[in-house]
A and B are shown apart, each in its own frame.
Chain A
Amino acid sequence: MALAAVIRSSRATTMMELEIELKKASDKLKVDSPDDFTCSAAPSFPVAVSWDATSISLSAACDLFMRFVTRTSHLEHEKFDAAKSRLIERGEKFGEISLKARKTIAMLSQDFIHDGCTILVHGYSRVVLEVLKLAASNRKLFRVLCTEGRPDRTGLRMSNELAALGIPVKVLIDSAVAYSMDEVDMVFVGADGVVESGGIINMMGTYQIALVAHSMNKPVYVAAESYKFARLYPLDQKDMTPAHRPIDFGVPVPTGVEVETSARDYTPPQYLTLLLTDLGVLTPSVVSDELIQLYL
């Protein structure tokens, strides 16, 4: 973990200095583009490398790391070096927790996938992939409908991986979601960030899918690790820091025509059924409770 490495290499002699250094490092992490970051980070740090939409999870993870590591108040009385090694320990523990998170989530979701079900997934999410992998290895029979996930075409990547696991996959264009929603039993999505209201910020198109699923009474399950819980509270789609991604239409866009290039959207909590996290299976309203308890 980059931040754990920061602690290790820091030459601070008091807790306050250490905290400040940590804060600076995490701020830097948030600001830098993920590509730079992933080069320098230990490979174990769970960051999706393919797009910058994960910067929310990154900043959330950094915040949580800071809280987790510096929370121990009884450290004050110990000698600083001992405290420092404690912190490093906790830092690494945090990294382990994050890794294990995906496995826990996969385990919890097994109950939701029954034989003969049809699952709709959106784009490429490693957590969801883990879930489906585990289900396949448990010999469950199900099939997956995978959206294309333009503009990144991550859906194609996802379907590739799923096919490699021997799961029957069907790829849809994004507009075909409503058309196919009848035959779908449940929707599984990942999340870039889970916000305080219980909603999620995820790849563009998730909101649409959730709306369609909700109106057709299909459950929407979000698989997200707990470090993605962020202290954000968007009121509407535009209330987040914008993240843009250039869209390639194949033909040059005529002049004078604007293109909506936002890469992510916000799905309000009323359209989500359950959040599958390493803390357990939660309802959206619980996210805020967890955050309060953590930050109080």
Chain B
Amino acid sequence: MDIRRAPPSRAASGGVEPRFRQVGFVTAAEPARGPVAPAAASPTASDGLSPVMIPPPLIPVPAPAPASESLMPSSPPPASSYLLEVISDLDDYADDDDIDVSWARPPPPALPEPNKRDLTQTKNEHGPTSVAQKPKLSKAERRAIQESQRAAKAAAKEAGLKPTAMASDASTKISKQPKTAKTSLKKDVNQVNPPVASDKKTGERPPDKDRKKDIPQSRMQFDDAHRVVKAKKRSVVSQSEARNRVELFRHLPQYAHGTQLPDLESKFLQPDLMHPSVYKVGLQYLSGDISGGNARCIAMLLAFREAINDYSMPAEKILNRDLTAKISSYVSFLIECRPLSISMGNSIRFLKNRITKLPLALSESEAKVSLQSDIDRFINEKIIVADKVIVSHAVTKIRDDDVLLTFGSASVVEMIFDHAHELGKKFRVVVVDSRPNHEGQRLLRRLVAKGISCTYTHINAVSYIMHEVTRVFLGASSVLSNGTVYSRVGTALVAMVAHAFGVPVLVCCEAYKFHERVQLDSICFNELGDPDAISRVPRDESLSHLKNWAENENLHLLNLRYDITPSDYVSMLITDYGMLPPTSVPVIVIGSTDMDHLIIVVGFKFLPARIAVLTVHRTGHGTRAHMCTYAKSKAVYQQLMFSVFYSPSENSIFGIRRMADW
């Protein structure tokens, strides 16, 4: 059994249970489940339903409509929250329902769904039954609690929430597919029944409400209809909900992209909404004109720079806070156009940090100038110069008569090839490309124009040509703390094939793209692209079998944008800190924390008697420092070692580990 086969419910049940999946419409079984639902406690009831039920189609189900809807406001289901726990624990973000800029948060989805079905009814009816459909025998106990809690809440909330809840449920096709179901059903990605009972989740909410409070929720999970509704209310861009969503990825936002552009363009001339340069950048993201981590980040920062330039502070507000709020609103807009990349997220964090650090005594114009120079410095140091350093390291690994392979189009890799060519090295390049974007073609054109001899192939043939390749150069959107590389979908495949052939894989990534998150699979955090892009085969209309895919309920298209490459397949990371093994990423991530607290730490060291140890945590919103006394908590002291980068001195040779010897 793989990792995902051990969902939280297992712990409750205490053992491995065989799970049966029933794929397909389960309408026949629906009525049978009705009576079962209330009898929450009996595991045997679930035996009667032994096939694990996937969310049934949206057919009207009577019963605690209010109950299910009333639970909307409460926290997302236990199952999903487990995963969330895992994810958010690892996150530093202490984010909440508010749209505070968590770059990782995908935008709220759209409107009252384009789709026909009467979701409201469905939801109502599915209230209890959906819970009964819960595939896990182990959920039985939980269901008992849920039922009682739901009953309690039902009366209270019914009247008030029914109208809004219904609307929201109707609007979001996002069903709260429990993550447990998702995890156990991971093999069957393309689910038959699209958006289903959000009600399914409702049952599991109550027990988790408390748990949710403890976990800082950093990312918006689209399975959670309530949050989706809230977020949607604040959105600038109106999105139409996509149809036929893949179940496994229900927690990610998916849009019907085509409809937005004209709408947004018409709004362009309303200046009060948004600064024009930010608007422009958003549109460029939406249409795909700007893509690639560095390009998007630079475009965004330059737009912000202009926005700051034109910013004039209202009299009664404080510059820091007002400007931060403004930047946050810009960021939410950008998120709606296209989910943020990790590089963008890190740079936003940097910018907000700089804004909060502005001394209050500065005048408005001085502050603006300082911020603009900070932005310029960031772009220069972290991107432009970093790229140069990476290129200089990487060309040392290119020898004459090398055959270098690359996938897609990474800006750094292109620079490396250019520079190596200028240095006169003799090598040839194999460009591997994939649908739907064919990014490799742009790279190919540019390389050929420079006179580098190239071979072009699609990713299906990568194992065919790998035997003649000597080095693989890949770009990355980010590198996570456990050394996994988060990059364009298809990269993992190329890396694995290279590893199987014993070809070294060199991943080139600037250090500002590193992230402290840890991700084990490509599912929990990803970006869904436009499914129409897959269905369309350009230039060949005879191959348009998928033209009407949306109408077919049995068909779901999945266009994932990113995937992760485990660190075992990466031979070396080339960053502006030099050439590192993937295991060294956490050191860089820690090392790049703000150095401000360094002074504080050293200062505290010399306090007599009760020495206070300052622990500084990186969070999504700048640094938050807590004070704790050394005497009280050794654990915090240990924490200190990891959150603070001790200043270099003659002792630094002995590393952070030795800090314990103070």
**Which residues in A have some Cβ–Cβ distance to B below 8 Å?**
68, 71-72, 90, 196-198, 226, 231, 233, 235-236, 239, 269, 279-280, 285, 288-290, 292-296
Contact = CB atoms under 8 A, between A and B. Distances in A.
A288 B584 contact: yes
A90 B650 CA distance: 9
B654 A279 contact: yes
Given A71-B649, A196-B581, A279-B655, 16 more contacts: A68-B650, A68-B653, A196-B579, A196-B580, A235-B506, A236-B504, A280-B657, A285-B584, A288-B580, A288-B581, A289-B587, A292-B580, A292-B584, A292-B588, A292-B591, A293-B655
Interface string B633-662: 000000000000000111011111100000
Contact of A289 (B572, B578, B579, B584): B584
Which of the listed residues B471, B579, B587, B653 has the most CB atoms from chain A within 10 Å of its own CB? B653
- 6 closest residue pairs by CB, A with B: A285-B583, A235-B504, A288-B584, A233-B579, A289-B587, A197-B581
B228 to A, nearest CB: 41
B577 interface: yes
Contacts of A294: 652-653
B591 A235 contact: no
A233 B572 contact: yes
B190 interface: no
Given A288-B584, A292-B587, A235 B471 contact: yes
Interface string B77-118: 000000000000000000000000000000000000000000
B650 A293 contact: no
Contacts of B654: 279
Contacts of B591: 292-293, 296
B227 to A, nearest CB: 39
B571 interface: yes
Contacts of B506: 235
A239 B580 contact: no
Nearest to B505: A235
A199 B584 CA distance: 14
A269 B652 CA distance: 24
Contact of B581 (A231, A280, A285): A285
B126 to A, nearest CB: 50
Contacts of B587: 288-289, 292-293
At the interface, is chain B mostly helix, strand, loop or mixed?
Answer: mixed
B504 A71 contact: no
Interface residues of B, number: 25
Nearest to B587: A289
B397 interface: yes
A294 B504 CA distance: 26
Interface in B562-595: 571-572, 577-581, 583-584, 587-588, 591
A152 B655 CA distance: 37
Nearest to A270: B568
A293 B656 contact: yes
Nearest to B393: A233
A197 B567 CA distance: 13
A231 B397 CA distance: 14
A71 B648 contact: yes
Interface string B502-527: 00101000000000000000000000
Contact of B578 (A235, A279, A295): A295
Contacts of B650: 68, 71-72, 90
Contact of B571 (A235, A279, A295): A235
Nearest to A231: B578
Contacts of B588: 292
A293 B397 contact: no
A271 to B, nearest CB: 14
Contacts of B657: 280
A200 to B, nearest CB: 14
A235 B397 contact: yes
6 contacts: A71-B650, A235-B572, A288-B580, A288-B581, A290-B655, A293-B648
A280 B471 CA distance: 35
Which of the listed residues B397, B577, B584, B649 has the most CB atoms from chain A within 10 Å of its own CB? B584
Contacts of A226: 653
A248 B657 CA distance: 48
Contacts of B653: 68, 226, 279, 290, 293-294
Nearest to A227: B653
Contacts of A290: 653, 655
A257 to B, nearest CB: 24
B239 to A, nearest CB: 43
B583 A288 contact: yes
A96 to B, nearest CB: 13
A295 B579 CA distance: 12
B477 to A, nearest CB: 22
A130 B254 CA distance: 65
Interface in B469-528: 471, 504, 506
B224 to A, nearest CB: 38
Nearest to A73: B648
A90 B572 CA distance: 34
Contacts of A72: 649-650
B395 to A, nearest CB: 14
A236 to B, nearest CB: 6
A295 B578 CA distance: 10
Contacts of B572: 197, 233, 235
Contacts of B583: 198, 285, 288-289
Nearest to B568: A270
B660 to A, nearest CB: 12
A162 to B, nearest CB: 32
A239 B581 contact: no
A230 B168 CA distance: 60
Which of the listed residues B471, B578, B588, B591 has the most CB atoms from chain A within 10 Å of its own CB? B578
Nearest to B506: A235
Contacts of A235: 397, 471, 504, 506, 571-572
Contacts of B580: 196, 288, 292
Contact of B648 (A198, A236, A285, A296): A296
B661 to A, nearest CB: 12
Nearest to A269: B581
Nearest to A288: B584
Contacts of B649: 71-72
B504 to A, nearest CB: 4
Contacts of A239: 397
Contacts of A285: 581, 583-584
A18 to B, nearest CB: 18
A231 B578 CA distance: 9
A62 to B, nearest CB: 15
Contacts of A296: 577, 591, 648
Contacts of A269: 581
A280 B657 CA distance: 10
Nearest to A197: B581
A290 B579 CA distance: 13
A279 B653 CA distance: 9
A239 B654 CA distance: 29
Which of the listed residues B581, B652, B655 has the most CB atoms from chain A within 10 Å of its own CB? B581
Contacts of B652: 71, 293-294
Nearest to A74: B649
A294 B654 CA distance: 9
Contacts of A293: 587, 591, 648, 652-653, 655-656
Interface string B177-194: 000000000000000000
Interface string B20-51: 00000000000000000000000000000000
B398 to A, nearest CB: 11
Which of the listed residues A196, A233, A269 has the most CB atoms from chain B within 10 Å of its own CB? A233
Which of the listed residues B397, B652, B656 has the most CB atoms from chain A within 10 Å of its own CB? B652
B595 to A, nearest CB: 11
A233 B504 CA distance: 12
A279 B648 CA distance: 17
